[in-house]
Structure formats: structure tokens, C-alpha cells
Structure 1
Amino acid sequence: MISEGIPADRGARSLAGAFAAIDAMAETAVEDLRKMVAVDTSFPPGAGYDAFADVMEQLASPLALNCERVIVPEELWRAPGSHGSRTNLVARRRSGKPVLGLYFHVDTVPPAPGWATDPLQLGRDGNRLIGLGAADMKGSIAAALLALRGAQQTGLPLAYDPMLLLCTDEEAGLYPGVRYLAEQGRLEGHILNFNGSAMPRIWAGCFGLFTLTVRVHGKPAHAGEQRRSGANAIEAALPILNALAALKPVIAQRTSALPPPPQAAGPLAGSLDISAIHGGQCGGQIPSLVEILVCRRYAPEEDFATARREIEAAIQRAADVLDVEIILTGHLMPTSDPGGPHWPRWQQALSAGFGYAAEDFARWGASGCSDFGWVQQATGVQEVLLTGLGKPDSRIHAPGESTTLADIVALAKSVLAYLAAEFRPELSPEAITPEKDFA
């Protein structure tokens, strides 16, 4: 039990008292999430980051967090289909304690066809909260705010100064915000990454991802005159599509030694997907341009440059004499083994919030991606703690994405336990000394 060994005179200022405060204030997290979901931060194009920073400043300021906007220069992230300021928000507290970075990506994927409700209006079905980004990962931001609100209301002494990193362009962006922060030396302490699941997981790392935009150019003409003067770009792109389709099963045979999730049917493997096609305008006009978005997930054992050349070579062979452009529009490096000295304490904190037993935990990776490969490369720090709200039934990136209030509360308690000075100090590499006098 969390209250075990805590003197009664600490009262509400104990972790048990803060947990009770979280339970009592749970509905504030729902309202926070409602405000966040209402801001369209879908990427591409990534045009809503300034508006989202406005909302987060309003939510963070009452928690005594000082906010600073850090903007990624446009020349670093500019790519077809992207526009708007890349505004990252750093909200932090400074008291001289060790720093815990709380990382969130604020972008979502665009809403897929098939939503039964407005994806930008938080819906509620009993305990379930439904909206774009509810699980990935605006609900996690709401959980962290709830944790800090519980600490503030009860005066709970913390072992770490929290630093919220609210970052842009994780969803396959060319230059994610956390990469820029890392390369600018703006990261401190160790980091808790919320781009994961609400499950008893010990993170083993993840795949990398890159996207290529393939532009096939034709010649516009009246549809009735195409034999004399036109060149149909969509029809010209068919050999390229066939070449990519032929390459797909070849890549799928390349498996990784990264341990797969418990629910996986087999080893994790590379993948190639044709994710989007755009071209043409009307029936009376020969289409002059078609754009194909190609998505490649690659294992930590693979080399990015080699994987990219393989796809580009297949496209060029199929294109023959066509006018074709191939543009790198997104890249996330693989995250190598993120284990480190803080993981045992974080595992205990997850158990405190969600009620997991030690035997529930398993170590596994994912073919899903993270922008923390860039952080590892820029900082030389391998350790990354992982958490989040993802579950098999969360429908992340699909219509009806959702989380539950119960999981938001449990995650808030896990975060607060890890921040608290009194929680398992013997497991802290910083040699935390619990405060004896709460007066």
C-alpha cells in the first residue's frame, strides 16, 4: 500500500493524501482534455501549434510553471504539405532539484474517414473519452497536469523539478521539435516519454520511420486531346505503384531481434506502405501531377541510407523516362535500448498508479516509432522512460480514438508517485532524501 510507512501526522501532504486529491479532482482532467482536443494540431499540415501553445500556457501557469516558446526554424522542417509555425512549449519549475522532463508530442494524425462524432469535440460514453488525440497523446498531458495539480493542492514535496516538453511533428515529421530541443542543449535531467502504453511494459526500443513523397509529372491537356498533347500522370504512375507493391513483401521478410509485444503473432518486421495518393481534378482534364506518399518502417538493425536507396532505385527503374521527383518528407530514427538506472523506480510508480504486480511486467519493443532516436543521438543519453495511455482498444490513429478517465487518473498517480520525494527513495540514482519536516 502507498500509505505504508508514512507517519499519520503528514496528513494530506503525504502521497496518499495527494492520491485522494487526484481522485477528487478527476473531472478537471476531462475539461483540460476537452480544451486540448478542440485545437486541431493534425500533422500534416501542423498549422495549429500556436493555438495549442495558447491553451497550454493557460493550463500551466496556475501550476507555477514558467512557459517558454521555442520555435523550430522553417528551413529545418519545410516539406510538401506542411505549413504553420513549429511552436514548442517548455513549461518548467526551477527550485534547484534534479529535473524530470515530461515529454509529449502535441500533434495528431489527421482524422481518418469514418468518425461517427466530431473528432475535435470530446465525446463521453460512460468512463470512455472519445476524440482525436484522446489517447495519443493529449490525454497523457491531462494526466500530467492532474498529477501536478494534486501535488500543488496538498503541498506534496517533490524530488524533481518537472519540465513539460510539449513538442511538434512527431507524427512522421522531418524535424521533430524534441530533436531541435536536444540539439540546442535544452534538455535536462532524464525524461519520461508519454508516447507509449498504459500497460506493464519495460520499453526495449522501437523501429525507425521515413516517408517519401513521389511526384510524377505529366502534361495537362483537354481530355479529348490527350493523344496529341497530353500525358496522364496518374496512368504514368501505375508502374511505380506496381514496383512498390512488389517490394513490399520483400521488406516484410526482414525481421528484428527487438522483442515483440505480448500480443504480436510473430517477430517485428520492416514494412513498406503506400499511404496516400493525390492527383487529378476533373473528368475533362488530363492530370498533370500525381503525388504518392510512401512510408517505410525500418528495424534498428537496418541502415536508413540503404533502405532509402532501395526504394528510390525501385521507383527510378519503374519510372524509366518519366519526370519524377522523390522528396524526403519525414524521418524518425530507431530508438535503441532505452534502459537505465531510473527504470526500477518508474516500474514501481506504474504499479502504484495502475495496480500492476511485478510479474505483470514484460520487456518489449515496437514497430511503431518515436522521435527519441534523435534525442539519443544528440545528447548521448540512452535512457528514456516510457509510459502513456495506449491500449489495444484505444483505436489510436483510427475513427473513435479514445481513452478512459480511469486510465488518466491511474497515469496521474503514477507520475505523481515518481515525482514525490517520499516514494521509494532507495531506488533513485539521485539519492533522494525524503523531507522529514512538512511544516
Structure 2
Amino acid sequence: MTGTDRRGAAMALIEAELDRAVADLARMVAVDTRFPPGAGYGAFATLMEELLADLPLPTRRETVPDALWQVARGPARGERINLIAEAPGTGPACSLYFHVDTVCAAGGWQRDPFVLTEEDGRLYGLGTADMKGAIAAAVHALRVAQRLGLTLAYRPQLLLCTDEEGGLYPGIRHLAEQGMIAGHLLNFNGSAGPRIWGGCFGSFNLQVTVRGFAAHAADRSKHAINAIEAALPMMQAVQALRPAVAARISALPVAPGQPPLAAQIAITVAEGGTCGGQVPDRFVFLVSRRYAPEEDFATARTEIETAIRDACPAGATLDFDLIGHLTPTADPEGSHTPRWIRAVQEGFGYAPEEFVKYAAASASDSGYVQQAGVLQEINLGGLIRPGSNAHGAEEHTTRADLAALAKAILCYLAADFAPELNPELMAAPAAAAAPDPTTPNN
């Protein structure tokens, strides 16, 4: 059987044995990796070590030091365990990045978010689209490649990382800063559509703790300071910033027919109080800010803190804690992008003319990889679609997309796939033909 025949057989086998990938996904969904608090990373690493045991990908755990991510008043807890699975060897490598955390289950779920439910080809469960389904697709592709003896152009390195959904120090940042990312990078926190990634905004979450003085609910003396009531003008001050923030437009490219990307600010969490008979002495609210690459993070943070301090009533006190931050991702297109586009065409069946380059106001931890100076090129794929409701109730992907992504990954890694789009292969003849600078001229 030729290499091309093996690849064709592999594509068929992906479809024929998709049940195994679905079963893997069910086990992943059952492990609670919600952030906050992100307490399930160890359990998820254990599961993945089991699922990867039959592949020639030795695994190791890399834990982010506590001092880098812990915030005394923050919501995160538990070890930040990242799992790296890497094929041994010396050839060119390709890192496949996945974050293992999910958002918290939104209100409105009609199904158990931690039980994979299949209905009419749809796979419902927390993290199915963002992004445990992508992990299942990659593992499925690698199993099929191994079973058929498919020669790979790249040594795969799987990076299963923590705290993308809001942490202060995402796992991929730590791995990048420690020089642990091999080769070039594919990020699977993106769309199942025909997209060329044009970068994205940064985001940060600022936790505001308002403190008052507890007393009987009937006490109207000056000693009773209601933290919730004290917070109201402060939250209104955040709302008052919205028009000015939204007027900050980015030059990043947008999808056809969409308006320019604008900065955003919102209050996304608010909690406090104990019972109806007591003046609450503590109230916490979270300000979420998405900032354009053209903006300065420190300036954006100071603007919020100043507005809140100016609105703080007498007697109340404040604490500010940065509990999450993702930096903007600059234009990540590079020499491997045409090969990834071709692989997505093969897997999902898109035509070349369907691909469009655009950015997003959503944030990614890929900016930290660029910031560390490890890589500037980062290609994006995944399972998210407009109707998949990622981050919302009834999140889902489909069997068809799970198979399509597995095919795209397999094609991209396969040695016989589009060799003319393999930058390493194209560079080899040029390097061989170049004169040896150590050889004297005759």
C-alpha cells in the first residue's frame, strides 16, 4: 500500500471508528475542569495519560508554580497541571495546543452538562465545542495514523493546558516561557469554519471587593454600611465608561459584513450578602474588559480603578485583584498557514475561495506564546460554530465536525499530504544547494 493509499484508508477509518472518539469525549466531559476554580486539572491529566497510553507519545506533567497564579482573594484553586505528550525523535515537530478548562455551566441547560448526550448527530456537553471535542479528534487522528502505519511529516506534541478561560497565568504561557513548545503551533480553540486567523483582542478580569460593616438589617446608624448599596454607584460608574470604551475601534480585519471590532467592558459576576436580616458587609463584582491591540493594558486597568474609586461612598473600602489576563494576539499568519488551510479543505470539504481572514474581539492565550518570543505564527482551527453555543447552555458539536477535524489533523501531519506546502521540506533542498561558507573559494 502506498502512502497515498494509507492516507485514504485512514480517512475512511476515521469515519468507521468514530464511536471510539465519541466515547473518549464522553469521558473527558465527565471530568469537571470548570474555571473557576480549575480544581480538576489533575484528574483530567490522569484520564489523558490513560487515553494516550497506546500511542508512542510519552507524557509528562508540568505544573505552573503557585506563586505565578495564586491570588489571595481570587477564585482559582488546585494544582495547575499541564500535560505534554510528545513523540520522540529529532525531526521537525508540530505542537497541537488545547486548553482543558471549560467555563462554568450556564443557566438553561436541559441536559446534564457533565454527561455527553447524543441526539441526531449532535453531541451535547460542557466543553464539547470549546474544546474537549478537539482533543478527542486529535487523539482519534493519531490512533488511526498509528494503526495504518502512516508516515508523518511532523513529530506531534500535544499540549493540554490550564486556565485559558480566565486564569491569571495560563499554562501555555508557562510552557512558552520555559521553552517547552516544540516546532510550530496549531491552536484548536477556534472555528470549524473556513477561517484564516487574523489575531484577536486581549482581555482581563478585575475583581472588585467592596467592604462595609455588618449590622442588624433594621440598624440605620452610621455604623451599618451596606456593601451592596455602596457598590451600586461603583457599578454604575463602570457602565458609564461603556460608550467611551466602545468607541475604541481596532484596525484588525473583520469577517465580511461585520462591523469593525470595538473594545468592550461589562460586569460579569456580582455576589454578596448572607440573609435578609443582616446588613451585608461584603460584595464582590467582576469587571471584564476586552482591549484592542492598539490599547495599553495598564492604562485600561487604571481607567476602571479610577472610575470605581471616585464613585466609592464614604465608609466603604475597596480591594482590586487582577484574577485573569490574556494579552492580544498579533497577526499570526505564517509559512505553515497554506498547509493548514489545505488540510481544513480536505477535512471539512471547503473550497479554497471560501476562506476569509479575520480577527475577533474574543481573547486567546496564544498572545503569550508570541510575547515569549517562541513563535509568531500560530494557526487556528477547532469545532466552534455560531450555532454550537460555546460558553452557553446546551453547548454541542457534531459527529460530522468531530470526524472532519480528525481528518484535517491527520492530513496536516501526514508526510504524503501536500509536500509542496511543507516549509521544512521546501527549505531542505535550498539548504543543500547553498554553498558552504567554510569552503575556501578556488
What's the TM-score once normalised by structure 2's chain length?
0.94
Q: Which residue, 361, 367, 389 being the options, matches 1:367? A: 361
SS class of match (1:164): strand
Q: 1:10 aligns with which of 2, 6, 20?
A: 2
Q: How does 1:225-240 map to 2 (within 5 A)?
A: 225-240=219-234
Q: Is the 8 A contact 1:140 1:194 kept in 2?
A: yes
Match of 1:305 in 2: 298
Cα 1:432–1:144 change in 2 (3 A) is: farther
Match of 1:390 in 2: 384
Between the aligned partners of 1:86 and 1:25, the Cα distance in structure 2 is 33
CA distance in 2 between counterparts of 1:219 and 1:391 reads: 47
Cα deviation per residue 1:378-416 (whole Å; 9 max; x = unaligned)?
124210010000101010100000000100100000000
Letter of the 1:69 partner, please give it.
R
| Structure 1 position 81 matched with structure 2 position 81 | no
Kindly state the Cα deviation for residue 228 of structure 1 after the two structures are TM-superposed.
4.9
| Gap change, CA 1:431 and 1:236, over 3 Å in 2 | same
Give the C-alpha shift of residue 192 in structure 1: 0.3
Distance in 1, matches of 2:379 and 2:340, equals 7
Q: Structure 1: how far apart are the matches of 2:66 and 2:317?
A: 27
1: CA distance, partners of 2:222 / 2:179: 59
Q: Select which of 239, 261, 274 maps to 2:267.
A: 274
- One of 414, 417, 420 as aligned partner of 1:423: 417
Q: Is residue 204–residue 338 contact of structure 1 (8 Å, CA) maintained in 2?
A: yes
Q: Contact conserved, 1:89 with 1:165, CA < 8 A, in 2?
A: yes
**Secondary structure in 2 matching 1:317:** helix
1:199 corresponds to 2:193: yes
Q: Of 26, 32, 36, which aligns to 1:40?
A: 32
Find the aligned partners of 1:356 and 1:228 in 2 and give their Cα distance. 68
Offset of 1:263 from its aligned partner? 5.8
Per-residue CA deviation, residues 138-194 of structure 1 (Å, 9 max, x unaligned), is 000011011101101110000111000000000121000000000011111000000
**Distance across 2 between alignment mates of 1:160 and 1:226:** 70
Match of 2:52 in 1: 60
The residue correspondences of 1:45-124 to structure 2 (distance < 5 A) are 45-79=37-71, 80-124=74-118
**2:356 is matched by which residue type in structure 1?**
A
Aligned equivalents of 1:262, 1:102: Cα separation in 2: 28
Corresponding residue of 2:407? 413
Aligned to 2:287, the other structure's residue is in SS state strand
TM-aligned CA deviation for residue 49 of structure 1: 0.3
Q: Does 13-22 or 215-224 show the bigger shift?
A: 13-22
Look up the match of 1:134. 128
Using the TM superposition, name which of 156-165 and 222-231 deviates more. 222-231
Amino acid corresponding to residue 44 of structure 1 in structure 2 = P
Match of 2:174 among 174, 180, 195: 180
SS of the aligned residue for 1:134 comes to coil
Amino acid at match of 1:25: E
Q: Aligned match of 2:249 in 250, 255, 273?
A: 255
The separation in 2 between residues aligned to 1:12 and 1:356, in whole angstroms, is 21
Q: Note if contact 2:347-2:408 (Cα within 8 Å) is conserved in structure 1.
A: yes
Letter in 2 for 1:421: A
Task: Give the deviation of 1:94 after TM superposition.
Answer: 1.1
Partner residue, 1:292:
285
In structure 2, what is the Cα distance between the partners aligned to 1:221 and 1:313?
A: 29
1: CA distance, partners of 2:202 / 2:266 = 14
- Aligned to 1:91, the other structure's residue is in SS state strand
Corresponding residue number in structure 2 for 1:28: 20
Partner of 1:4: none
**Secondary structure in 2 aligned to 1:431?**
helix
Task: Determine the C-alpha separation between the residues in 2 that align with 1:331 and 1:347.
Answer: 30
Which residue matches 1:403? 397
Aligned to 1:327: 321
- Match of 1:247, SS? helix
CA contact (8 A) 2:101 2:163 kept: yes
**Secondary structure of the structure 2 residue equivalent to 1:250:** helix
Query: In the alignment, which of 167, 178, 184 is matched to residue 161 of structure 2?
Result: 167
CA–CA distance in structure 2, aligned partners of residues 101 and 397 of structure 1? 25
**Secondary structure, counterpart of 2:204 in structure 1:** strand
CA pair 388-11 structure 1, distance change in 2 beyond 3 A: closer
Inter-partner Cα distance in structure 2 for 1:405 and 1:300: 36
2:205 and 2:168 map into 1 onto residues whose CA distance is: 9
Displacement of 1:248 in angstroms is 1.2
Match of 2:431 in 1: none
**Aligned residues between the structures:** 425
* Residues 214-247 of structure 1 deviation map (CA, whole Å, 9 limit, x = unaligned): 0110001111224253110000111101101111
CA distance in 2, matches of 1:68, 1:399: 34
Amino acid paired to 2:290: R
Hey, what's the Cα distance between the residues in 2 that align with 1:120 and 1:399? Answer: 12
SS in 2 for 1:83: coil
For 1:151, the equivalent position in structure 2 comes to 145
Superposed CA offset, 1:79-136 (max 9, x none)? 3111011000001111222110000000000001110011000111111000000000
Deviating 4+ runs (over 4 angstroms): none
3-state SS of 1:136 partner = coil
Q: Give the secondary-structure state (helix, strand or coil) at the position aligned to 1:113.
A: coil
Instruction: Report if the CA contact (8 A) 2:184-2:378 is conserved.
Output: yes
Q: Tell me the distance in 1 between the aligned counterparts of 2:254 and 2:356.
A: 10
Kept in 2: contact 1:136–1:389 (CA 8 A): yes
Q: 1:107 & 1:381 partners in 2: Cα distance?
A: 23
